Amino acid sequence: MPSIQLRTTIPGPRSQELMERRVQAVPRGVFHSTPVFAARAEGALVEDVDGNVFVDLAGGIGCVNTGHRAEPVVAAIRDQIDRYLHTCFSVSLYEGYVELAERLNQLTPGRFAKKTLILNTGSEAVENAVKIARAYTKRPAVVCFDDAFHGRTLLALSLTSKTHPYKAGFQPFVSDIYRVPYGCDFEGAPSSIKSDCERHFEQVFKRIVAAESVAAIIAEPVLGEGGFIAPPAEYFRALAEICRKHGILFIADEVQTGICRTGSLFACEQYGVEPDMLLSAKSLGGGLPISAITGRAEIMDSTEVGGLGGTFIGNPVSCAAALAVLDMVEREKLSERAQKLGDRFMERATRWKNQYPVIGQIHGIGAMRALELVRDRETREPASDEANSIVRYCYEHGVLTISAGTFSNIIRLLMPLVITDEQFDEALSVLGSALESVNGAPVAAGTSRSSNA
């Protein structure tokens, strides 16, 4: 029996009623990629208020790698809420916060003493990491990258690259933020990547910002909103060496890449990089809000007592969920599952690329995969309208997907890693039909379609 069950047109009548209320009650600036209102979810399936069942390839934008309502996570949540919901860690301490910090200190890459600050959101992790870096180095500047996304609060938004819809109209931004090209521009032999990276940053430190003024370089190991682009591993190793040479801290933003998404618990493991600070969030909470900064102990201890905090940071229910998530990803070998899902997708995507000229490139690693859509493979003109059409086709046919990219021409996959092979294949068949719907009938490999076609 197929997992997708469509009982109404999409959106159904109940979703349409709720959408009318949403328009009246919620600011228009709050984006939604589908007009579907959820009623319940389990594993990799979402049922809407009209009784339609969808296969979820969006995963709450990467927040449910362990699946919707994973039984061990729900059990841990129930156990915690039977005891207490909130005391504020700054008032009355609790073991769950400490235990989660210990686990992250152990599991994150780096053969050195670590400490962990637990927070609520990815943006909070970014903001506090910059605060800590500035306190430790006594330097003001932060270097970030083109096409990066680091959040929506003011400092995090200053580090984010994409203008519309994220930054336009919200100026002025935080000062001493400097943006440079991302590592995907560096290709070739490992030795040439290293030398090219070194030469590039020599120019950065001469023309843009002095090395001795830079507190930290922050980077996503794989671009998230930027299109799931992964640079060569040698690039990040070279970048880490440059940071060490100049006394600059390297901050790895693993908010989206972390918790097995790329085929390892953290993507930095695949690059052989040990960041000074690593940021985790999203799937760490199994569906509840939580984030963390795990870093070198001497760096994390550089602020004065009271310099870090927040009323709800390290909420005990979210900590309990996160501990259950970490148990689950190890017990169920979700890193291995991510690799298998990525391989399964690549089999289909490679065939699609040969059939459909609208696919310019296939991006990502592990189960963090994406299709870059173009109107012409030579010019790489972004096919943004086509991406929107594919998202719409998919949800109208029972699959939840989301787009990404600076030009909104990327279809990205963030499905729960507990998705079954049958569910995944069913969803990919819908995605394949969506590609055909925007590209016409399949064509012979090697052909190209101009933007005027």
- Report the distance separating Cα 213 and Cα 211, nearest Å: 5
State the pLDDT at residue 33.
93
Q: What is the pTM of this model?
A: 0.94
Residue 268 sits in the same domain as residue 339: no
Same domain, 341 and 311: no
How many domains, in total, are found in the chain?
2
449 is a domain residue: no
**Range of the structural domain that residue 129 is part of:** 73-331
**Is residue 136 located within the same domain as residue 20?**
no
Residue 2 within a domain: no
C-alpha dist (Å) from residue 388 to 19, 74, 123: 19, 34, 27
Residues 350 and 275 in one domain: no
In angstroms, rounded to a whole number, what is the distance separating the alpha carbons of residues 82 and 104?
Answer: 25
Task: Report H helices in 108-177.
Answer: 122-137, 154-159
Q: Strand 277-280 relative to strand 249-253: parallel, antiparallel, unpaired?
A: parallel
pLDDT score recorded for residue 185:
62
Q: 101 and 95 in contact (C-beta within 8 Å)?
A: no
**Same structural domain for residues 179 and 255?**
yes
Residues in CB range of 390: below 8 A, 6 or more apart = 373, 401, 403, 411, 431, 434, 435, 437, 438
Phi/psi at 154 (5° precision): -60, -50
Mind listing the pLDDT tens digit for each residue in 164-178?
A: 999 999 999 999 999
Look up residue 69 and give its DSSP letter: T
pLDDT the model gives residue 240: 95
Nearest 5°: CA angle at 422, between 399 and 226? 45
Q: Please indicate, yes or no, if residue 22 is contained in any of the structural domains.
A: yes
Task: State yes or no: cis peptide before 172, omega within 30 of 0.
Answer: yes
Residue 83 DSSP class: T
The answer to whether 364 and 141 are in contact (CB under 8 A) is no
- End position of a domain, from candidates 331, 362, 385: 331
Rounded Cα–Cα distance for residues 159 and 390 (Å): 30
Whichever domain contains 400, its CATH number is: 3.90.1150.10
Q: Do residue 150 and residue 192 come from a single domain?
A: yes
Can you tell me the distance from the alpha carbon of 375 to that of 370, in angstroms, rounded to the nearest whole number?
Answer: 17
CB-based contact 273:231 (threshold 8 Å):
no
pLDDT tens-place string over residues 345-356: 999 999 999 999
Examine residue 4 and state whether it is found in any structural domain, yes or no: no
453 residues of the chain, pLDDT tens digit each: 899 999 999 999 999 999 999 999 999 999 999 999 999 999 999 999 999 999 999 999 999 999 999 999 999 999 999 999 999 999 999 999 999 999 999 999 999 999 999 999 999 999 999 999 999 999 999 999 999 999 999 999 999 999 999 999 999 999 999 999 997 666 666 668 888 899 999 999 999 999 999 999 999 999 999 999 999 889 999 999 999 999 999 999 999 999 999 999 999 999 999 999 999 999 999 999 999 999 999 999 999 999 999 999 999 999 999 999 999 999 999 999 999 999 999 999 999 999 999 999 999 999 999 999 999 999 999 999 999 999 999 999 999 999 999 999 999 999 999 999 999 999 999 999 999 999 865 554 444 443 333
Q: What is the CATH number of the domain that holds 187?
A: 3.40.640.10
Report the distance separating Cα 42 and Cα 68, nearest Å: 5
Q: Which of 223, 206, 222 is nearest to 214 (CA)?
A: 206
CA-CA-CA-CA dihedral for 412, 151, 80, 100, to nearest 10: 90
Model pLDDT, residue 449 = 40
Considering the domain architecture, whether residues 270 and 170 belong to the same structural domain is answered as yes
Dihedral angle of Cα 265, 270, 272, 273, to the nearest 10 degrees:
-60
pLDDT tens, residue by residue, 227-272:
999 998 899 999 999 999 999 999 999 999 999 999 999 999 999 9
Question: Which H or E run contains 292?
Answer: strand 291-296
Pair 108, 20 in one domain:
no
Q: Say what the pLDDT of residue 192 is.
A: 84
3-state secondary structure of 6: coil
Domain membership flag for residue 446:
no
User: What is the H or E stretch that residue 422 is in?
Assistant: helix 421-439
Domain boundary among 331, 358, 375: 331
Give the domain-ending residue among 297, 331, 365: 331
Give the DSSP H/E element, type plus range, for residue 16: helix 13-25
In a domain, 318, yes or no: yes
82 and 124, same domain (yes or no): yes
Which residues does residue 37 pair with via DSSP β-bridges, in sequence order?
Answer: none
Three-state DSSP class for residue 291: strand
Residue 416 lies in a domain: yes
Q: Which amino acid is at 324?
A: A
453 occurs within a structural domain = no
403: closest CA among 185, 158, 228, 260? Answer: 228
Residues 223 and 355 in one domain: no
In the three-class reduction of DSSP (H, G, I as helix; E, B as strand; rest coil), residue 144 is classed as strand
Query: Following CA atoms 346, 352, 358, 361 in sequence, which dihedral angle do they give, to the nearest 10 degrees?
Result: 20
Residues 145 and 221 placed together within one structural domain of the fold:
yes
> Which residues does 138 contact at the CB level (< 8 Å), separation at least 6?
none
Alpha carbon distance 279, 292 (integer Å):
6
Cis peptide before 27 (omega within 30 of 0): no
The verdict on 342 and 327 lying in the same domain is: no
